[in-house]
Amino acid sequence: MNALLRHAVIDLTRILAVFVIYPICYVFSIVCFGPPLIFVYAALDGPETPEMAFLLIMGFGLAIFALSLAPVLLPLDFMFAPSLGARRPSMRERELLSRLEADYDAIASANGLPKVSFHLRVIDVDEINAYAYGRNGVAISRGVLELAKETPENWSMLITLLAHEIGHIVNHDTRFFAFLGTLQAPLFASIWILSQISRIPFLALLTILPLLGCWFAIASIDYILKLTSRAMEYRADAYALSVVGAERVLKLFDHPTFRDHNKGQSIRSFLVRSHPPTELRHDRIRRLSASE
């Protein structure tokens, strides 16, 4: 898949996801929250005209959409950090991370890339890994931080790892999933309310079908999004290549941490596997650097 096609596939899938998930989220929110909202409005002596009720519900839908944009536009990454296990760095880690940030910025600007704003957190795990999350957060494992202190080669490996994660930020991967997550929140609240209502006899029949339909639509779109995750990884690798150069990226892939252990898997898990096999990522970088 060439770079342009990869961008098109990922971005069209995302547009499709939003156009499916947003209407479902909107309709369900109206079904579950609309009547109580109108009731509260009427209780506050508002005019009970159908036009006003319509406007109220439209406004409610727009408010959901606006709230979904909050984690994309505002510095709310701390909300996502706990689920990842990411914490703020200690004083000595902060020293290390600001050196990392400075080194990264120097390499990126030497290679003609615009400055990217990001902030770093730490995850207390021994494995060598990093994760981009939220608007512009990157969480780095303690394992890789400890290792990076030891030798200049390991320090350079950490910068390469960071470049890949910054690739996810630049490509809006993490922003999109933060947006989708918040967009889905009222939907899941609606599903919970409907599932409570469905315990009442007869009403169950009315609610179970929309619930099933909604679940099917969301599950399908989530599945399609997962199919693009390997393309996202290749895209972030390509960004890392533009920051640190082929030699460093290839060296990172040769690190034992990135060795794949694959004893076979179902076709389904093969399709939704989040990362491509390291050997093929290696190939992709060699091909990309040769074509430059």
Q: Which is nearer to Zn ion, 64 or 168 (CB)?
A: 168
Q: Which is nearer to Zn ion, 117 or 274 (CB)?
A: 274
- Give me the least distance between CB of 50 and Zn ion, in Å please: 50
Q: Which is nearer to Zn ion, 60 or 258 (CB)?
A: 258
Considering all CA atoms of the chain, what is the largest pairwise distance in Å, rounded to the nearest integer? 72
- Give me the least distance between CB of 10 and Zn ion, in Å please: 13
Q: Which is nearer to Zn ion, 22 or 168 (CB)?
A: 168
Q: Which is nearer to Zn ion, 218 or 236 (CB)?
A: 236
- Give me the least distance between CB of 247 and Zn ion, in Å please: 20
Enumerate binding residues for Zn ion (CB under 5 A). 233, 236
According to DSSP, the residues that pair with 132 across neighbouring strands are 138
d(CA 81, CA 125): 14
- Give me the least distance between CB of 287 and Zn ion, in Å please: 19
Q: Which is nearer to Zn ion, 266 or 274 (CB)?
A: 274
d(CA 17, CA 220): 9
- Give me the least distance between CB of 249 and Zn ion, in Å please: 12
- Give me the least distance between CB of 124 and Zn ion, in Å please: 20
d(CA 253, CA 185): 37
d(CA 84, CA 181): 14
Q: Which is nearer to Zn ion, 171 or 190 (CB)?
A: 171
